[in-house]
Structure 1
Amino acid sequence: MVTAIVNPLVQEVLDLIGIFAFALSGALLAVRKRFDAVGIAVLAEVTALGGGVFRDLVIGAVPPVAFTDIAYFTTPLVAAAVVFFWHPRLARIRRFVLLFDAVGLGVFCVAGTVKALNFGMHPLPAVALGAATAIGGGLLRDLLSGEIPALLHPRSEIYAVPALLGSALVSILAVLHLLTPITSALAALIAVVVRLLALHYGWRAPLARGTTAQ
């Protein structure tokens, strides 16, 4: 069994950073959709906790930490309050949604893979679960707000690929016994940068031969 030797405090910090970043992206999208205060809070919570809850259920860490650690539940509410009172001008919100979504994606793919490895998963399915942790909240956010999920939209820049890349780096580092807080942060940063580059340059996954994006 491969384990990811990461201090539990580091694991929690990674989770909370990802939760805050995703909650900001959910709350900002709620503002763009003109949701009220309750809608902003709900979308922030779902976006921030959806992927982590899925991860915990799959690996058997029940009840999910989102329901046992008050910091996990209150952090999205703090992010929602920040957005509610101090959100940028509406014309700039989409850019901030994408930025915070990229940060959450990078942090969660690392945190999810680390936790999966520490619960005894093989490195390969741990990669898949780490990526699912990263994209789950964004998927739920888009569905609840009436958007076509970035994961599925043919015109969207690559979304799952950066998460898979970050997760794969974590598993490889764990197998090589090189996983540390610094290398974990580097893996997260690489995932974030790849996602931001995809947004900037319009990198998209290939379509089936003979088809075009609608």
Structure 2
Amino acid sequence: MKISTMSLLEELERPEYASMKKAFRRRRYVKNETIAFPEDSPNEVFVVAEGRLRVFRAYEEKEFTFAVLETGDIYSSHTGAHVVALTDGALLVTDVGTFHREMMQAPAVTQAMVRVLGGLLKNAFQIIDSLVFSDSTARLAAFLLSEARNEPQGPVVRLAVTIEELALHLGMSRQTASTLLADMGRSGIIQKLGRGVYRIEDTPRLEELARQGKRI
């Protein structure tokens, strides 16, 4: 579920971006710490230097995950979403004004930011579409197919999140996500290779579930 394939950390190490690198301050965070809260967050831009963060919105008693930020991802706190730490880690933080001035001289950073915001918008529409038109089975099947397409070595899914985090991302309970994965395994649709690693054994059947959902 990583938003961008570009690591901004690598870009900041280039000599031409030395000025921008100096504009960031390093901030540590701990697991479950709230990094950004819509009602009172300052306008900051941060790059994930270590660890992982979850970006989500809450409506009544439900939470909908838009993205999981990983090392090298960039994000702005003024988007109106909650950001909570999934692990201990560190951020490189600067204010929006400073970032804007430096960004004018750094086209690669601009591209990275556009990709992140575009990824968030895409995920938001996918969540809305799946919650309105798909059941839990269809949402999980579609997610597995989407993740497998990003793997260069074939139809293998490597989950960078826990089952609980996956369930939050797909708008279902942890028990439902765990049960569906187990059912897909027993049915020969997927095979568990290790912790968080699954190989798709029956792509046509998984595609059918993604379209129709219901029973496995």
Instruction: Tell me, yes or no, whether TM beats 0.5.
Output: no
Determine which structure has the larger helix proportion and give its number: 1
TM-score category by the smaller chain?
0.3 to 0.5
Determine which structure has the larger strand proportion and give its number: 2
Which has the bigger relative contact order, CA under 8 A and spacing at least 6?
A: 1
Q: Which has the larger radius of gyration?
A: 2
TM-score computed with the length of structure 1 as normaliser: 0.34
